[in-house]
Amino acid sequence: MMDVLNLLVLVFGALALVVAMAAVALLFARRRPSGTPGTYRGRPLMTENELEFFGRLVAALPQHYIFPQVAMSALLEPASHSKKSRHSDRLRVAQQRVDYVVCDKRCDVVAVVELDDRTHQRSRDKIRDERLRQAGVRTVRFEARAKPTAAAIRSIVLPADPASVIAEASVRFSPA
C-alpha cells in the first residue's frame, strides 16, 4: 500500500512540476525582450474633419507653416526649480498633443489652433491653454461644427495687435 501511495505522490509531483514549468515557459514566451520592436499598425495623422480644417488653415495663412498633431512636450518644458516637480510637470504633458501649431517663416510659434469637437472637455482645455499661456503661446479655439472662413481664421490667428491678446490663455471663436 505504501508503494502505491509513494508512486501516486511521485506521479502527481512530476505532473505538478511539468504544469509549473509549462506555465513559466508560457509567461516568458509572451514577454518580449526590451530590444524587440513590438507590434504596430499605421493610423491616419488626422481625421477627415481635421484634414479639411488643415486645408482651411493653409489657405488662410499662406505666409506661415502649419504643423498638425504636435506633441505638447515639443512646445513646453517644465520650469520648476524642484527636480520632482519638473518630472511631474513633464509627465502631465507627455502624452498630450495640440491640433495645429502655426509658425512664422523662422519657425517661431505664432499660435496653437485647436478644433474643438465632442472629444474636447472645457475644464481640461482651460488647463492646457493656461500651460501654453505660461510659455507665451496663445491658443485659438474654433468649433468643429461651425468652422470659419479663411478671412476669419486669418483675422483671429493673426490679430492686428498680438501683444493685446497674449495675456489671455486662449481665444475662442464662436460665429454669431
Question: Position 112: which residue type?
Answer: V
Any idea what the Cα angle at residue 130 is, between residues 44 and 164, rounded to 5°?
105
Whether 109 is in a domain gets the answer yes
- What mean pLDDT comes out for the span 140-166? 84
Q: What's the domain count of the chain?
A: 1
Categorize the per-residue pLDDT at 90 as very low, low, confident or very high, splitting at 50, 70 and 90: confident
Question: Per-residue pLDDT tens for 5-24?
Answer: 666 666 666 667 767 776 77
- Is 80 exceeded by the pLDDT of residue 59? yes
| 8 A C-beta contact, residue 169 and residue 140 | no
Domain that holds residue 106: 48-173
* DSSP line for 101-166: EEE-TT--EEEEEEEE-TT--HHHHHHHHHHHHHTT--EEEEEGGGPPPHHHHHHHHS-S-GGGTT
pTM of the model: 0.73
Categorize the per-residue pLDDT at 93 as very low, low, confident or very high, splitting at 50, 70 and 90: confident
Whether 13 is in a domain gets the answer no
Whether 17 is in a domain gets the answer no
